[in-house]
Amino acid sequence: MRKSWLRDYILKRLIYSAIIAWGILTITFVLVRVGPSSPADKYLANMAARGQDVSQVIAAIEARYGLDRPIHEQYFDYMVNLFQGNWGWSFSTSMPVIDLIKTHWVYSFQLILLSSLFAAFLGILIGVYSAVKQYTRTDYLFTFFSFIGVSIPNFWLGVMLILLFSVKLGLFKTYYDTTLPLFSLANLKALVLPVITLGTGMLAGYVRYTRSAMLDNLRKGFVTTARAKGLPERTVIGKHVFRNALLPLVTIIMFDLGSIIFGGAYLTEIVFGIPGLGQVSFNAVFANDYPVVVAVTLIGTFLILLVNLVTDISYTYLDPRIRYD
Amino acid sequence: MKTGDNVVLEVSNLKTYFFTRRGVVKAVDGLDFHLRRGECLCLVGESGCGKTVTALSILKLVDSPPGKIVEGEIRYDSLDLVKCSSKQLRQIRGKEIAMVFQEAQSALNPVLTIGDQIMEQIMLHLPLERNEAQNRSMALLREMGIPSVERVMKSYPHQLSGGMKQRAMIAMSLSCDPTIIIADEPTTAVDVTIEAQILGIFRSLKEQRQLSLIFITHDLAVVAEIGDRAVVMYAGKEVETAPVSEIIANPRHPYTAGLIRCLPDISRPADRLVSIPGFAPNPVELPGGCAFHPRCSEGMPICSQQAPPVVELSTEHRVRCHLYR
Amino acid sequence: MTDKSQDTARATDSPTYGWVRLAGYYWQRTRVNRLAVFGLAFILFLVVMALIGPFFTLGPTLVDFEQKNLPPAGFATEKSVYSTATGELTITRVPGDWKHPLGTDSKGRDMLAMIVSGARVSLQVGLLATGIAIFIGIIIGVLSAYMGRWVDNVLMRFTDVMMTFPFFLLLVLIIFIFGPSLAFIVLAIGLTGWTGTARLVRSEALSLRTRDFILAARAMGATGGRVIFRHLIPNVVSLIIVIATLSIPGVILAEAALSFIGLGDPTVASWGIVLEAGQSSLDTAWWVAVEPGIMLFLTVLAFNFLGDGLRDAFDPKSRI
């Protein structure tokens, strides 16, 4: 009985996510079409800058992009293209958008992964410790620092780190070296400052949320029961309290940090010159290369959608109370 | 009071204070009592009189920043529980002295299965393998009269009814064969039929296993059903201690007498329910002298000036009242 | 002799008296939190600076290459000059000047003027964009809660979609499409940041619907509109104030980030733009990067402290 319930639930969530995905694509489409300059204009500007004959180009665009066709046909094409992986052509780099993504996503991935691990690991540890030692000076210190961490503009932090460690102390290079092989120690070293930049804001968030979730549970009845059973304190906190704190923690982290990660990563890549998708989008904006900008936005959005879906389904494992909803 | 070789627990001059922003709350202020093997001692009193704090103090489960055991001795098996190390205390909790709490839903961990919670205690204290612990848990649950024990072992607290949860808690407390079980108002939160069943379980435990019980309640009817001796508490102090039969038939302290008068008697016609006039005192600002004097029908001038001492009316009967000097 | 009892009755009758007394009570609770008070003080300082500052400072766009790269007053940098005539490298000490108390950037623009101008921009964007976002959020939240299941479903799905977009990426996309003018930036932030407010307002409204005092009001014959205004709004006001205060830093940072990457309005001197300039002159004029950043940091911190303090003060469960 339980298995089929799970299957139904997953199905329901998948359908729901599909609806949201449709909404995302539609809104993006609307935004692009509603803009003052059509995609054609941007392409025109590009081509004109390269000295091409305008009227010829217009004809070519209209033919290729079907801009002379009615709007709903364009919409349909747009959806179909996206599904087939035909994400358009990047003017500024002269390659299909999808290839551009393929070459650059690794850089974003490693930055986000390392920063998240750093932030989660350290953040949860500090948060738990802070909650257990509430009202002590260490707690006040950590809380104060997490306030600061949340408030520091992350792009400024990046610049300050560069100022201090690269310019004044000369410990790191000022820009990310793209020639380094990915799985090398040198690459790791080059990522230290960016990871600290992106990770600090996330770290502060983790500390605050973990602390609050733990505090909510520390005064609950089952904690006294656990102690009355003779369990050592670390089991009481680590097994009993933490398992209960995990659910609200996961909720908040998935919803809040999902958005913050991508914005933060975008800025961090620009500050440090890391050639990830954020940098790609940034270059595309100034080259008027709209398919790329749209593509990166959609990638970020769909990743969040995926994370939300996975989180929703993992709730059923974390909180037994909602299984027989 | 004669304390013989049969005494398993002796509490002397227990003082547990809470240091709050609004003042010091003397939740337990100089309490003495002892518990013999195989007997059921009831701690009786209104809400806030200190009975729960007493129970928590025995196992040092009182919330330590505001609360503190400032004085007193709790002798168990040649150890003073107040002064022993945490390691020794953890050997006693759940193994020699176990506790059953008032509200099973909040006392049980909502994200762990019943089986997990019982087995955790067994495997902590007893040198049993996992499957042996499992068998032992299921045997206990069966003994409590719980049907389909396999299913219950895998269930989560919210899936069980109130009565079943309470039985599971009792099974959990029995799991390591304790000498003493402290039950903190285990029947207050359940309806009368379940209350009768649970009292039945405690009675048979006392008879068959020679278990010593400290039973906390505000309900004199429960005391009459299950208690051997009773300690009546008011504002953190003992006001009368006697065998239950004597307390019911021959209450000496005005408060005890008042409590008994409050019990409606179905055999006698009455048009108004009797109650003790006034309210429980503000724990931070207790009345001077005898704490009960503002509500006492037998008040004398000395009651507001001097705190009454404990008087031994017989070997088994003590009262704290100026009436008996 | 005046009839005092009548005066009191009249005074407590009007809804505004209730508001004043309530506001006073909440202020008392907030005051206790020293960090919140510091936050408020700093914000007031910013407001004053933004309002009257421009009258006292030099123009932020005044370019003066003679005075370029001056350090702040009290600091000194070294300038090495290679003289082709003598073939010597002389190092002269260039001290800061009180004429440019915070120094100048690589084009000679006065830092203090730019900081003041940046404060104006940040506060304007912060307040306006947040205002728009909260306004939209309230409308959607209330509509969702009171207009029936179908409307609620559609609006909430729409909210879900908008929430899935990563805030900053969506912002970049919109500005890319519509152009980087300050008005559009404010509009864009407002149009993308309402989702949190909408959710919270909706859930408060829904929970209030079934609360006893609303049922009592309806039983007494209160119509929908009256219920909304006299009962619903006062209860969500405190919630909204907290949300607003805590959203402003995000908005200010968003605008600064956009300016930093070059998508800001080039005609105004926003802190983000100054910071961007600062990054390229880190070795010669480090203060250009440090100063706007400190201001951003303190501003965000101030709003966070204040918002947190207000939230604690408004929470009926916490005892201060």
Nearest to B103 among A221, A232, A247 (CB): A221
Q: Which residues of A touch B95 (CB under 8 A)?
A: 230
**What residues of chain A, 246 to 265, have a C-beta less than 8 Å from chain B?**
247
Q: What percent of chain B has pLDDT over 70?
A: 98
Determine the Cα–Cα distance for residues C80 and C94; give it in Å rounded to an integer. 10
Nearest to A156 among C158, C263, C275 (CB): C275
User: Average pLDDT of each block of 10 consecutive residues along chain A (325 residues)?
Assistant: 72 89 86 69 63 62 59 71 72 79 88 90 91 86 87 90 81 71 76 90 88 88 92 91 86 74 90 89 85 87 88 78 59
- Residue C230 CB coordination number (10 Å): 12
Residue B75 belongs to a domain with what CATH number? Answer: 3.40.50.300
With a CB cutoff of 8 Å and minimum separation 6, the contacts of C47 are C123
Query: What pLDDT, in 10s, does the model give residues B226-257?
Result: 999 999 998 888 999 999 998 888 888 888 88
**Chains A, C: CB contacts under 8 A, how many?**
132
Residue B2 has pLDDT above 80, yes or no: no
- Residue C133's pLDDT is 93
Q: Nearest-CA distance from B204 to chain A in Å?
A: 23
Task: Please list the residue range(s) of chain C that carry CATH number 1.10.3720.10.
Answer: 17-69+104-314
Is A20 in Cβ contact with C160 (below 8 Å)?
yes
Domain for residue B105, yes or no?
A: no
Is B98 in Cβ contact with A319 (below 8 Å)?
no
State which residues of chain C have pLDDT below 70.
1-22, 28-32, 57-84, 96, 211-235, 316-320
Quick check: helix, strand or coil at residue C34?
A: helix
Alpha carbon distances (Å) from C80 to A88, C103, C108? 52, 18, 18
Q: Identify the H or E element spanning B265.
A: none
Is A296 in Cβ contact with C161 (below 8 Å)?
no
Alpha carbon distances (Å) from A218 to A138, A242, A243, B86? 18, 9, 12, 20
Is A135 in Cβ contact with B156 (below 8 Å)?
no
Select the residue from C153, C156, C177 to test the A interface by mutation, using most A Cβ atoms within 10 A: C177
Query: What pLDDT, in 10s, does the model give residues B54-112?
Result: 999 999 998 878 888 999 999 998 889 888 888 999 999 989 999 999 888 889 999 89
* Chains contacting B (3+ CB pairs below 8 angstroms): A
- Quick one: pLDDT band at residue B145, thresholds 50, 70, 90? confident
Is B120 in Cβ contact with A244 (below 8 Å)?
no
Residue B16 has pLDDT above 50, yes or no: yes
- Residue C78's pLDDT is 67
Domain for residue B155, yes or no?
A: no
Q: Torsion over CA of B241, B244, B248 and B254, rounded to 10 degrees?
A: 10
Is C296 in Cβ contact with A153 (below 8 Å)?
yes
Select the residue from B109, B120, B216 to test the A interface by mutation, using most A Cβ atoms within 10 A: B109
Determine the Cα–Cα distance for residues A296 and A107; give it in Å rounded to an integer. 14
Determine the Cα–Cα distance for residues B152 and B115; give it in Å rounded to an integer. 8
Q: What are phi and psi of C193, to 5 degrees?
A: -105, 15
Which tokens is B293 given? 């004097």
Determine the Cα–Cα distance for residues B102 and B217; give it in Å rounded to an integer. 10
- Could you tell me which residue, B214 or C73, shows the higher pLDDT? B214
Q: Is the dihedral of CA B136, B141, B143, B147 positive or negative?
A: negative
Closest-CA residue to C39 (of C248, C285, C280, C281): C248
* Entry pTM: 0.80
Judge contact between C236 and C201, C-beta under 8 A: yes
Q: What is the CATH number of domain C17-69+104-314?
A: 1.10.3720.10
Between vectors from CA A195 to CA A189 and to CA A198, what angle results, nearest 5°? 160
Instruction: For tokens 């479903």, name the residue.
Output: C153
Judge contact between B93 and A229, C-beta under 8 A: yes
- Residue A58's pLDDT is 61
Domain for residue B300, yes or no?
A: yes
Is A163 in Cβ contact with C166 (below 8 Å)?
no
DSSP-H helix ranges across chain A:
2-34, 39-49, 54-65, 71-84, 97-132, 137-151, 154-161, 185-218, 221-228, 233-235, 242-252, 258-272, 277-286, 290-318
- Quick one: pLDDT band at residue B163, thresholds 50, 70, 90? confident
- Residue A54's pLDDT is 62
Judge contact between C281 and C288, C-beta under 8 A: yes
Is C178 in Cβ contact with A301 (below 8 Å)?
no
Select the residue from B58, B64, B111 to test the A interface by mutation, using most A Cβ atoms within 10 A: B111
Determine the Cα–Cα distance for residues A282 and A288; give it in Å rounded to an integer. 10
Judge contact between B220 and B259, C-beta under 8 A: yes
Q: Nearest-CA distance from B93 to chain A in Å?
A: 4
Closest chain C residue by Cα to residue A263: C168
Amino acid letter, residue C275? L
Give me the number of domains chain B comprises. 1
Amino acid letter, residue A180? L
Q: Nearest-CA distance from B41 to chain A in Å?
A: 20
What C238-242 contacts at long range (C-beta under 8 Å, 24+ apart), as own/partner pairs, is C238/C26, C238/C314, C239/C200, C239/C201, C239/C204, C239/C314, C240/C134, C240/C138, C240/C197, C240/C201, C241/C310, C241/C314, C242/C307, C242/C310, C242/C311, C242/C314
Nearest to C283 among A23, A167, A294 (CB): A167
Is C257 in Cβ contact with A293 (below 8 Å)?
no
Is C253 in Cβ contact with A28 (below 8 Å)?
no
Q: Which residues of A touch B120 (CB under 8 A)?
A: 229, 231
**What residues of chain A, 230 to 249, have a C-beta less than 8 Å from chain B?**
230-232, 240, 243-244, 247
Closest chain A residue by Cα to residue B59: A228
- Could you tell me which residue, A79 or B10, shows the higher pLDDT? B10
Domain holding B309, by residue range, is 7-96+178-263+272-324
Is B121 in Cβ contact with A230 (below 8 Å)?
yes
Residue B183 has pLDDT above 90, yes or no: yes
Is B112 in Cβ contact with A243 (below 8 Å)?
yes
Closest chain A residue by Cα to residue B103: A221
Which tokens is A293 given? 């900008």
Q: Nearest-CA distance from B50 to chain A in Å?
A: 17
